[in-house]
Structure 1
C-alpha cells in the first residue's frame, strides 16, 4: 500500500498533482515527437515493455505510472529509480494521448556497438541489414523476428526507423533491448567490411526472377541478409556490394509483400538450412 510519505513497500515514490516538474519534460507531447532519439534517451511503454527494460542492462532515468496502476507493478519496481505517480488524467494531458498502458519509463541509450561485437569467425552466424526500413512497426517486427531466429546483430542505415522509438520498441516486445543494433552512418562501408574483412556472404533480397530462388538457395556459415526500403527496395549502390541476390517466388499476380513479412520468410528458411 502507498502510505502518506510516498512509500510503496519501502520503495520511494514521487507523487505529483501538477505537470510543472521539469523532470517530466521527456514525457511531454509524445504523440507528435520523438525527441528522445537525439537526446540519448528512449521511452518504453506498457507494463510488459517497462518490466523488460527493468530486467535489462539499460540504465533507467525515471518511471511514470498512473495512480491506478502503481500497486499492480509494485513487485518489480526498482528501488533506485525515480518513479513519478500522477493522476491518470494528468498523465494523458502530459503525453498527449489516451494512457491505456498505465506505465512508461525513460531509458538511456547505449553507445553504438562495433561490428566486432557480434561477428563470428568460429561459428555459424547470421546478421540482418536494413538499408532504409522507415516504418516503426516494420522495424519492431523485424527486430522481434531477429531474436526469434537467433540473429547475431542488426545493421541499420541512417534513414531507417529508430529501433528504440516508442512504437518500434512496443511492437518488438522490447526485444530491441537484447539485440545488438548498429545505427550506421556509413551503411555501405559496413557491408563492405562484413564481406571483405569478416568473410560474410552478403545476400540482397530483390524482386527479380533472374535472382536465386529462395526455395532453392543454400547458405554459408556467415551470412548477411539485406532488406531494402518498403517502397523502393535496395538501391543499386547497395546491390553492388551484395555478392548474392535472392528473390522470394510469388504467385497469383502478387509482385511483392511487406518487408517485415518477407524478413520472416527469409529468416525462417535461411536459418534452418544446414
Structure 2
C-alpha cells in the first residue's frame, strides 16, 4: 500500500517531479532525465495504473484519498498529501482534479508490433500541439483505430496535457515513433497497408471514396499549420479531402481526425 506523507513545504525536494508543470521545456528535460510522465485526475491516474504503468509517486489533496484508495492499495509508491493551495503553488496551475501521479515510461514498441493484428491505424506527421495529439488519440480510440504512428517531431503523447485531453486513450492504444520519416509511407505500403492522406491536393477525392474497399488503412494527418509535407503527400497511396461548404477549406486537425476516423470506420 502507498505510504501517505503529509507535506507542508512547497520547496520540499520530494515534490520535484511536480514542480512548474506549465514549463514545457523543463518538463521535457525532466522526462528525458528521469523517464517519467505525469497523469492528472482520478480517471486518468486509474487508467494509467490499470494499463500497467508503474507509479513513482502521487500528489493528492486530502479529499481525493478515498476515491483512489483502491489504487493506492496496489502500490508501495509514496503519496504526498498536500493542501490544494500548496499543490497549485508547486505545479503552477489549479489542480482542480485533485490528484497527480508520476509514472515510469516504458520502452516504445517496434512499428511491426503496433501494426500486428490491426486493420486501422493513424499516422501523424509533425503535430506539435499536445492538445491536438491527445484529441486525435481519443477520436481514434473511440472509433476503433487500433494504433498510432508518429513522426519524430510530433508532440509527446505522454505529456500531461495530451493525456488529459485524450482521457487516457494513449494508455489503451498501441503507439510508437517512426524511425524513418522520409520513407515512412512507402514502408507502410510495402507492409500491405493502404496509406490515405488527408490533404487539399488537387487530386484528392472525397474521404468516403478514398477509403472504399480498403482493408488495412493507415490514415495520415499533417501538422496544424501547413498540413502534410510534400514528401508524405506525394508518397501516400491515396489522397483524400473532407468536402466543405461556405468557403471553408479545412478543419482543425483534431476535428478532421474525428470525421475521417468515423468515415473510415464505416468503410
Same fold by TM (over 0.5)?
A: yes
Alpha-carbon distance change, 222 to 79 in structure 1, aligned in 2, over 3 angstroms: closer
Name the structure 2 match of 1:177.
171
Equivalent position SS for 1:188: coil
Equivalent position SS for 2:87: helix
Among 183, 190, 195, the residue aligned to 1:202: 195
State the Cα deviation string for residues 124-176 of structure 1 (Å, max 9, x = none).
Answer: 61111010111111111100111112212111112212111111100000110
For residue 117 of structure 1, report the CA deviation from its aligned partner: 0.7
Query: More helix by proportion, 1 or 2?
Result: 2
Q: Does 1:147 align with 2:102?
A: no
Alpha-carbon distance change, 262 to 219 in structure 1, aligned in 2, over 3 angstroms: farther
Distance 2:205 2:89 in 1: 53
Name the structure 1 match of 2:101.
105
Among 123, 126, 136, the residue aligned to 1:132: 126
Name the structure 2 match of 1:3.
none
Among 154, 169, 182, the residue aligned to 1:188: 182
Among 10, 14, 17, the residue aligned to 1:23: 14
Does the Cα contact within 8 Å between 1:219 and 1:270 map onto a contact in 2?
no
Alpha-carbon distance change, 115 to 11 in structure 1, aligned in 2, over 3 angstroms: closer
For residue 116 of structure 1, report the CA deviation from its aligned partner: 1.3
Q: Does 1:68 align with 2:59?
A: no
Name the structure 1 match of 2:205.
212
Equivalent position SS for 1:68: helix
Distance 1:103 1:24 in 2: 13
Computing the radius of gyration from Cα coordinates, the structure with the larger value is 1
Does the Cα contact within 8 Å between 1:68 and 1:88 map onto a contact in 2?
no
Q: 1:218-257 maps to which residues of 2 (within 5 A)? A: 218-257=212-251
State the Cα deviation string for residues 239-270 of structure 1 (Å, max 9, x = none).
Answer: 23212111111111111111111111111111
State the Cα deviation string for residues 209-250 of structure 1 (Å, max 9, x = none).
Answer: 531221333142111111001120111111232121111111
For residue 190 of structure 1, report the CA deviation from its aligned partner: 3.2
- CA RMSD across the alignment: 1.8
Runs of 4+ in 1 over 4 A off after TM superposition: none
Name the structure 2 match of 1:32.
23
Name the structure 1 match of 2:260.
266
Structure 2 unaligned residues grouped into runs of 5+: none
Does the Cα contact within 8 Å between 1:188 and 1:241 map onto a contact in 2?
no
Among 5, 24, 43, the residue aligned to 1:48: 43
Equivalent position SS for 1:71: coil
For residue 15 of structure 1, report the CA deviation from its aligned partner: 1.6
Equivalent position SS for 2:149: strand
Normalised TM-score (structure 2): 0.91
Structure 1 unaligned residues grouped into runs of 5+: 1-9
